């Protein structure tokens, strides 16, 4: 996936504040991987792993590394 495709994907789920909350990540995962939609623990683990800054959100630079 190209950087531009990743940015577009990020924008698709971002509410416009430039970072993804747990709810936004949850929607993205359910959209692309519906089988994980019921596994909230796995989604939370993935979210925490992606939030390398530890600020409670996933910014674009972190999202690009997923």
**Domain ranges within the chain, ordered by starting residue:** 3-63
* Residues forming beta bridges with residue 19, ordered by sequence position: 59
The dotted CATH code for 3-63 is 1.10.238.10
The stretch 8-23 carries a mean pLDDT of: 96
pLDDT of 37 strictly over 90: no
Please report the pLDDT score of residue 1 as a whole number.
Answer: 85
> Mean pLDDT lowest for which of 9-18, 34-43, 50-59?
34-43
Please report the pLDDT score of residue 43 as a whole number.
Answer: 86
pLDDT of 40 strictly over 90: no
Beta strands at 19-20 and 58-59: parallel, antiparallel or unpaired: antiparallel
The stretch 20-48 carries a mean pLDDT of: 87
């Amino acid at each position: 996936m190209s950087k531009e495709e990743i940015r577009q994907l990020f924008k698709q789920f971002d509410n416009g504040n430039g970072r993804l909350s747990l709810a936004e990540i949850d929607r993205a995962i359910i959209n692309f991987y519906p089988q994980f939609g019921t596994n909230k623990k796995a989604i939370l683990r993935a979210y925490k792993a992606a939030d390398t800054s530890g600020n409670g959100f996933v910014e674009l630079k972190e999202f690009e590394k997923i």
